[in-house]
């Protein structure tokens, strides 16, 4: 799945959307193509345009900016791009690195995206105890990620529906 970067009218990166959604935004005149894939074209009944890699919104969208994103399960999945921290496959659950039963908390540094299978297998153990090393360390979201998280969170109602849907 190729994602397209969405820039605000002011050229700040806002989010990513699927290629199909990006094409729809362009066809609806809500966005213009800033950069396209050199080889790839989107062809349909009435469509033949270069596949957009970067699009820019025609209208400026105000995005609430938080320097520190509040922790959420959804946010962890977005931060980790829905990739399991233990096997790299698609993740649908959030695992506590140090389990809550051992004092682990709901924080960015103690939670990772995990597939259901690995989450179940790890159970109430640390990665060391379960012999399941992390493929990457959890981290605080960057300001750019915080913006992306803001798009998917409390302020979702303030945004146009087509922008509020994060890329799959
Ligand atoms: Zn996994």
What confidence tens digit (pLDDT) does each residue in 70-113 have? 788 988 988 888 899 999 999 999 999 999 999 999 999 999 99
- pLDDT for 152: 47
Q: Rounded distance, CA 134 to CA 80, Å? A: 12
Q: What is the pTM of this model?
A: 0.53
52, 26 Cβ separation under 8 angstroms? yes
Q: Indicate whether 157 pLDDT > 60.
A: no
Planar angle of CA 67, 7, 144, nearest 5 degrees: 25
Q: Rounded distance, CA 145 to CA 41, Å? A: 29
Average pLDDT, rounded, for the chain: 82
Residue 158, H or E segment: none
109, 71 Cβ separation under 8 angstroms? no
Q: How far is the CA of 4 from the centre of ligand 1 (A)?
A: 26
How many Å from the N-terminal Cα to the C-terminal Cα in the chain? 9
Please give the torsion angle defined by the CA atoms of residues 61, 64, 68 and 73, in that order, rounded to the nearest 10 degrees: -80
Q: Indicate whether 61 pLDDT > 90.
A: no
Please give the torsion angle defined by the CA atoms of residues 7, 8, 11 and 13, in that order, rounded to the nearest 10 degrees: -50
- Greater pLDDT, 3 or 31: 31
Q: How far is the CA of 61 from the centre of ligand 1 (A)?
A: 36
- pLDDT for 155: 39
Domains and CATH numbers, the chain: 3-64+153-164 (no CATH), 73-130 (1.10.30.50)
Strand positions, DSSP E, 27-114: 31-43, 48-57, 93-96, 111-114
Q: How far is the CA of 168 from the centre of ligand 1 (A)?
A: 18
Q: Which of 17-21, 132-136, 141-145, 161-165 has the lowest mean pLDDT?
A: 161-165
Residues with CB under 5 A from ligand 1 (ion): 84, 86-87, 115, 118
Q: Indicate whether 143 pLDDT > 80.
A: no
Q: Indicate whether 167 pLDDT > 60.
A: no
- pLDDT for 142: 67
């Amino acid at each position: 799945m190729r994602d397209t970067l969405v820039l605000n009218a002011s050229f700040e990166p806002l989010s990513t959307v699927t290629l199909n959604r990006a094409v729809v935004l362009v066809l609806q005149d809500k966005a213009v193509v800033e950069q396209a894939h050199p080889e790839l074209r989107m062809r349909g009944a009435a469509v033949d345009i270069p596949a957009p890699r970067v699009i820019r919104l025609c209208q400026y969208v105000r995005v609430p900016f938080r320097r520190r994103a509040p922790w959420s399960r959804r946010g962890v999945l977005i931060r980790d791009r829905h990739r399991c921290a233990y096997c790299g496959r698609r993740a649908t659950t959030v695992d506590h690195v140090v389990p809550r039963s051992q004092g682990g908390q709901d924080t960015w540094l103690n939670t990772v995206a995990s597939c259901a299978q690995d989450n179940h297998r790890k159970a109430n153990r640390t990665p060391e105890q379960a012999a399941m090393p992390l493929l990457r360390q959890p981290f605080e979201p960057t300001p750019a990620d915080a913006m992306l998280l803001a798009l998917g969170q409390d302020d979702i109602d303030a945004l146009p529906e087509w922008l509020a849907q994060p890329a799959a």
